[in-house]
Amino acid sequence: MPTLKLTSVALLGLALTACATNKITGRSQAMLVSDDAAAQQSYQAYSQLLSQAAQKRALDDDPYQLTRVQSIAKPLIQQAVKLRPEAQGWRWEVHVLKSSEVNAWCMAGGKMAVYTGLLQKIQPTDDELAAVMGHEISHALLSHQAEKISRAQMQKAGIYAGVLAGALFGVNLGGMATLADSVATLGLQLPNSREAESEADKVGIELAAKAGFNPEAAVTLWQKMIKVSGGGTPEWLSTHPDPQSRIAAMQVMAKNLMPVYEAARKKP
């Protein structure tokens, strides 16, 4: 019993000390892993990924696509730095990867990629592509990668405590660890991921509008996404908000941001 009490106290202390308030959203986040640590992991993974893609001739094989993506990323990054000044020191980078997958992402520290599957299957306008990239950049700005890694580590610590508690009472719960991990994922990580996606939608569309891209393109983008995907996953089992709910929220945000977009377009 003393061991169980000590473990419980340690886990409670971990949960209390591993939280931080995000300066942009005001939300309390699990931050057992720092942004710098997450960025360092990203740099290493990104370097390996680019090397592998280059070997397969799947890296930036279309100069026009690369130039287009980089030109759209530039004003978005400028707005991102205004929102989070320390991002000025990030090693921002964006490449186009040859893949049939409809995807794009931005790692902690500003390492980005856009897949040719997105460019070919969605056929996004520049405004729509800015909506995608603004959303992905927002994940990095809002420390979502560091948060996700932190929550995963805390989740594993919680499962270990459960198995230990069972052992102290003479019950072997080791075989249930995998099931517990799955349940914990549904109950802990997925709701947070949906919240993170909604936050990235909000901040991303704002970045795009301030960078001079039409915020209404976020709506048409997700309409195209739904059409290509042929449907959606039930919201309660998805890491993304329900598509129709997402579009409705986008429509409201786009309307409110039109004056911001119009003002940005008038700037020299």
In this predicted structure, what is the pLDDT of residue 156?
62
234 is in which domain, residue-wise?
Answer: 2-266
What are the pLDDT digits (tens) for 43-65? Answer: 998 999 999 999 999 999 999 99
Q: 159-179 burial, b if ≥16 CB within 10 A, otherwise e? A: beeebebeeeeeeebeeeeee
Cβ(204)–Cβ(134) under 8 Å? yes
Partnered with residue 105 across adjacent β-strands are 113
φ and ψ at 88, to 5 degrees?
-60, -30
In this predicted structure, what is the pLDDT of residue 243?
79
Total count of domains within the chain? 1
What are the pLDDT digits (tens) for 232-249? Answer: 554 444 566 677 888 999
In this predicted structure, what is the pLDDT of residue 180?
41
Count CB atoms within 10 A of the CB of residue 25.
17
Sign of CA dihedral 234, 244, 117, 42: negative
Query: Is the pTM value of this prediction over 0.85?
Result: no
Strands (E), the chain: 19-21, 28-30, 93-97, 104-106, 111-115
What stretches in the chain show pLDDT beneath 70? 1-18, 154-192, 231-241
